[in-house]
């Protein structure tokens, strides 16, 4: 197995760093899936996540030889915090090279070429230990299927939503998120002592079907609210970890769940 990649563009480096920082806020360990076309960060357990980035959007050089010709992929378990710390030292680097190496153990070796006032290049190297996941376990890290939902809605700006949730956490451990197909969403807390609701309007509903409808939800009354009870701490963890500055974020609400 072989893997090597190179980032030269500073904007691409900063964006890749923000992605890794976001992942590191959500879990101590994650699975990094490497293919010829993309990299996937996968979390499973209490917090689940599938983050896919196209390699052509980030890397100026990219080479991969997977496990075999019919399984041209590599699965690695890595601590994203270690990768995040390594990237922090490379924020002004002229280039960053990442490759899979074998030292005392398998490692992702990150080499950052830093600016220098002399003609001699300064290179900072980090060896990040990883575990290679055997092929028999790959099926455990497949892309999750989108479950059927009642309502899909675009979220308000995440910074705005985080500000609201940060204030609500002092009142309760749970909140109710409800939304409809008319672009309306409410965040509610109801206890014996207090009842608080924050309203958002004109958020918009993502099109899912080929005809722009939301498939199973298209016959639903547009004013009817679907709701989910959410652990505020987990929602806050998601909002705090967001450093990729998405142009849009959405959530799908089902009878007993909350998906973003």
pTM flag (> 0.85): no
Average pLDDT over residues 249-258: 71
pLDDT in tens, 188-217: 998 888 899 999 999 999 887 554 455 544
What are the tens digits of pLDDT across the range 30-63? 999 999 999 999 987 666 788 899 999 999 999 9
Q: Which residue has the higher pLDDT, 39 or 27?
A: 39
∠ CA 251-255-258, nearest 5°, is 30
Q: How confident is the model at residue 5, as a pLDDT? A: 96
What tokens does 68 get? Answer: 């075999």
């Amino acid at each position: 197995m072989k893997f090597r990649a190179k980032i030269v563009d500073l904007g691409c480096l900063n964006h890749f760093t923000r992605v890794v920082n976001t992942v590191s806020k959500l879990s101590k360990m994650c699975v990094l899936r490497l293919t010829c076309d993309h990299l996937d960060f996968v979390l499973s357990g209490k917090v689940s996540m599938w983050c896919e980035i196209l390699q052509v959007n980030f890397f100026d050089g990219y080479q991969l030889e997977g496990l075999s010709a019919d399984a041209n992929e590599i699965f690695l378990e890595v601590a994203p915090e270690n990768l995040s710390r390594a990237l922090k030292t490379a924020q002004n680097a002229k280039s960053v090279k990442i490759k899979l190496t074998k030292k005392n153990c398998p490692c992702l070796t990150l080499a950052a070429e830093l600016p220098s006032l002399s003609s001699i290049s300064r290179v900072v190297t980090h060896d990040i230990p990883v575990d290679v996941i055997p092929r028999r376990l790959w099926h455990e890290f497949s892309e999750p299927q989108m479950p059927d939902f009642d309502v899909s809605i675009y979220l308000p700006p995440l910074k705005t939503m985080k500000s609201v949730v940060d204030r609500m956490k002092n009142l309760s451990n749970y909140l109710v998120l409800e939304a409809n197909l008319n672009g309306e969403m409410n965040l509610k807390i109801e206890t014996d002592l207090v009842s608080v609701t924050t309203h958002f309007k004109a958020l918009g509903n993502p099109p899912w079907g080929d005809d722009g409808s939301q498939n199973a939800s298209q016959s639903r009354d547009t004013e009817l609210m679907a709701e989910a009870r959410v652990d505020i701490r987990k929602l806050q963890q998601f909002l705090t970890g967001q450093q990729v500055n998405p142009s849009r974020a959405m959530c799908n609400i089902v009878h007993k769940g909350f998906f973003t």
